[in-house]
Structure 1
Amino acid sequence: MGDETRSKFKRICVFCGSNSGNRTVFSDAAFDLGREMVNRRISLIYGGGSVGLMGMISQAVYDGGCHVLGVIPKALVPIEISGETVGEVKVVSDMHERKAVMAEQADAFIALPGGYGTMEEVMEMITWSQLGIHDKPIGLLNVDGYYNSLLELFDKGVHEGFIKPACRHIVISATNANELLAKMELYTPLHKQVAPRQSWEIAEVL
């Protein structure tokens, strides 16, 4: 590809739903993010499913010639994998191990639209950044305003004194993949971490 742009990220973990959503705008966004990652030669780490938005982005990245690593708890294999798997699949014991493997392997994190699981995963990465466990960029792909209410809640948390203003900058958001990746490339933490990374038992957390 003559127009590809190299990224400082080698591997991005994408959190997304095992459902496709009710509108094509969500699946379009998954394919678009996959294409943008391929253009930048970024490998994908994701939840391992072959259905919903997970299946779409993994197929897009795999078809583009980039490495795909799916990490899935054994209990979800019959639910989230349908037919042939894409790329490398690592089956782990539980959700905690899944998140630890994904967090350790990734250089950055992006959340596509998704449900409780997607939100829980990205919120944990935001919290870990605040605590000082990692300093990796975290982005929300705010497709057609999907995450507007969540971003407004973060702003309210700042206004009401529950989130420090500098910590609000942990969360990067954009309405399209190209803009989001560009903003994430420029990310520099502004917040004072709760504890320095070396004080955490990283081997156990990650």
Structure 2
Amino acid sequence: MPTNMTGTEPMPRVAFQGELGAFSEMAIRQQWPEGAEVVPCASFPVAVQRVLDGAVDFAVIPVENAIVGPVRVALDALATAGDALTVRAETRVPVHLHLLAPAGATLAGLRDVHSHPVALAQCRIFFARHGWLVSTVHADTAGAARDVAQAGLLTRAAVASDMAAERYGLEIIASRIEDVPANWTRFVVVSLKPI
């Protein structure tokens, strides 16, 4: 298991897919409670490549969700690295998804809801009950929240964490909209395989 670096050693640099406020950042904070330098990446392959290039010490990658099962796109990115990476630890993060929108928005007034496809897949019952909401795929949950905040439209929302709501100044319009209350995502911590 990776340890926190203390004293004169630098904090570990840890890559993850997504923007600040993503569930992967929560996994990093859970794994390194004393601190790590988080490195947001545009995609899982980019996060894996950062480890392969030595630009970061670790990557935290989601591999399984309680509702949707294996996170295929992440597993595919890990598979491309072959034997070059090793799994150093695993951590499971409780996942509670919330409908986030700018101040003044209402559930009835919303139309477009943006989020990562895996997050949207975890909220099928909510979307079935609110048929006027159109789900729109985004690269990640926190990035969707950031973009919704920047747009400031009262018809646009995101499905993301409460941490993303706080970070981007959004209100929680509906909380814990995931299909299964005991929702979680399992993450692996990977690093270069020792020679």
Q: Same fold (TM over 0.5)?
A: no
Which of the two has higher C-alpha Rg?
A: 2
Larger RCO (CA within 8 A; separation ≥ 6): 2
User: Normalization by structure 1: what TM-score?
Assistant: 0.29
